[in-house]
Amino acid sequence: MSKANSPDEHGAEVRASRDPLSGREVVFAPARAKRPGNHDAGIEPEAAGEAAACPFCEGHEQETPPELFALGAKAGRQPDARGWKVRVVPNLFPAFERQQVVVHAPAHLRSFADLSEPQLALVAEAWTEVAERAWAQGFDHLLAVVNEGKAAGASRPHSHSQLVWLDRLPPEIATEAPRLRRDSCALCSLLGDLDPALELAERKLTQGSVSLMVAPAGRAPYELLAAPREHLPDGFGNVELLAAALSLAAEGVRRLNAVEGSSPFNLWLHNFQQDGHWHLELVPRLNVFAGVELGAGIYINTLLPEEAAARLREARP
């Protein structure tokens, strides 16, 4: 990560950084947060009749395409009936050849942050089960994403994830792959010498541990990173570590919501079946990416990562 501190033309300090995983350019410009135009983009409150019309709620199984499978199901349950904990169905409007929806809970829970630990473990299990099916059918990559809130592109408020089967590494992950090789892994360096000013939490398991931190050069305020401390390419290959990472991400969202109010976000797994170091990236969508971000690929972040981490650590969710 290169850093250069210099005052802007009004004398406020700006800091140019480079994300070690992607090489993306980020300019930290805290003074811009005071400028007008930053809007509040919270999660929409629950609409009247929302749960009654929700196809993901238990009892509404006939309103989705027939399920692929369900987890936590009661003995003797028929497909597409009540009595499940996590349900996997094809996407009704797929943009890809294979795309599934993982419904995270039978009740109308509107946030990933509201899922219990056992429920998050079932979500991890559903992701790994779909990954095994994708590999068995010759697909090279499974993209797992959670979109929450309209500002993050969520189609429905009931907590769910999308799983997209791809026949190659998508561009964002292909860009990271050379930086995350075992012999010179930028994420191993980051975690091996983890800046206490950025660290938020750690989960220790018998098979290793997983850390949650504020991204050192995130493209948006409060951008988070969760990853195993050990260099592991395939996140779907160890369901306990994946569940721990999802649990840490949910904790990150609870802390974020305590600081900023309920916040829209995108969460995704960057996974590598060959060499690489898997991780979750969580990008809060409190700001809108504008012309400089999209046109130049240079991200302006109005909150320094150490300040974001300090606020999240102090939060009492």
Interface pattern 109-148 for Zn ion (x via CB under 5 A): ----------------------------------------
Token readout for 119 is: 């429920």
DSSP state of 180: G
- The helix (run of H) or strand (run of E) holding residue 14 is strand 13-18
- Alpha-carbon 284 to chain mean position: 9
C-beta separation of 166 from 139 below 8 A: yes
Best CA proximity match to 245, nearest among 200, 285, 275, 286 = 200
Among 20, 24, 43, 56, binds Zn ion (CB under 5 A): 56
User: How many amino acids of this chain bind Zn ion (CB under 5 A)?
Assistant: 13
d(CA 124, CA 246): 8
Burial (CB count within 10 angstroms: exposed 0-12, middle 13-18, buried 19+), residue 196: exposed
Token readout for 305 is: 């990562």
Among the listed ranges 27-35, 175-183, 246-254, 298-306, the one in contact with Zn ion (CB under 5 A) is 175-183
187 touching Zn ion, by CB under 5 A: yes
Among the listed ranges 70-78, 103-111, 234-242, 285-293, the one in contact with Zn ion (CB under 5 A) is 103-111
**Restricting to residues 200-239, which ones interact with Zn ion according to CB under 5 A?**
231
Among 89, 115, 130, 188, binds Zn ion (CB under 5 A): 188
190 touching Zn ion, by CB under 5 A: no
Token readout for 262 is: 């309920």
Q: Which residue has the tokens 């290959």?
A: 237
Among the listed ranges 26-34, 67-75, 105-113, 256-264, the one in contact with Zn ion (CB under 5 A) is 105-113
- The helix (run of H) or strand (run of E) holding residue 16 is strand 13-18
Among 158, 179, 203, 285, binds Zn ion (CB under 5 A): 158
Interface pattern 235-274 for Zn ion (x via CB under 5 A): -----------------------------------x----
Applying CB under 5 A, the residues found at the interface with Zn ion are 21, 54, 56-57, 108, 158, 176, 185, 187-188, 231, 270, 277
